[in-house]
């Protein structure tokens, strides 16, 4: 059974579970969410590199402030291989 995608999936920033801390950046995998892949922001723009556990907990408590906006998500992809203009050139440079 498929469930609708919830906005919390678009949270962009640090996630913490106990001692494990990871950067979660959905803008890097928009195609997996059914959107046209765009050139993602730098990780430092999505999740501040020098953050503390307390900041991470606070960010997640107010996660709506850290959710990708509809403009950042871009349009839905009609076909899974769609990418924004310039994305493939950027991808091959990276």
Question: What tokens were used for 28?
Answer: 């890097």
Q: Is the pTM of this model over 0.75?
A: no
Lowest mean pLDDT among 5-14, 39-48, 56-65: 56-65
Q: What is the pLDDT of residue 60?
A: 65
Domain map (residue ranges) of the chain: 14-92
SS3 30: helix
Contact 31, 80 (CB under 8 A): yes
More reliable by pLDDT, 5 or 64: 5
Q: What is the pLDDT of residue 37?
A: 92
Q: What is the pLDDT of residue 18?
A: 78
- Cα separation, 22 vs 94, in Å, equals 22
pLDDT tens digit string along 15-59? 878 788 888 899 999 988 889 999 988 888 877 777 777 777 776
Contact 18, 5 (CB under 8 A): no
């Amino acid at each position: 059974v498929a469930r609708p995608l919830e906005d919390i999936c678009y949270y962009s920033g640090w996630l913490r579970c106990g001692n494990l801390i990871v950067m979660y950046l959905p803008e890097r995998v928009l195609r997996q969410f059914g959107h046209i892949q765009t050139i993602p922001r730098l990780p430092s723009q999505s999740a501040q590199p020098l953050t503390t556990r307390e900041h991470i907990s606070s960010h997640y408590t107010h996660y709506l402030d850290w959710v990708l906006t509809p403009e950042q998500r871009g349009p839905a992809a009609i076909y899974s291989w769609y990418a924004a203009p310039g994305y493939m050139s950027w991808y091959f440079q990276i």
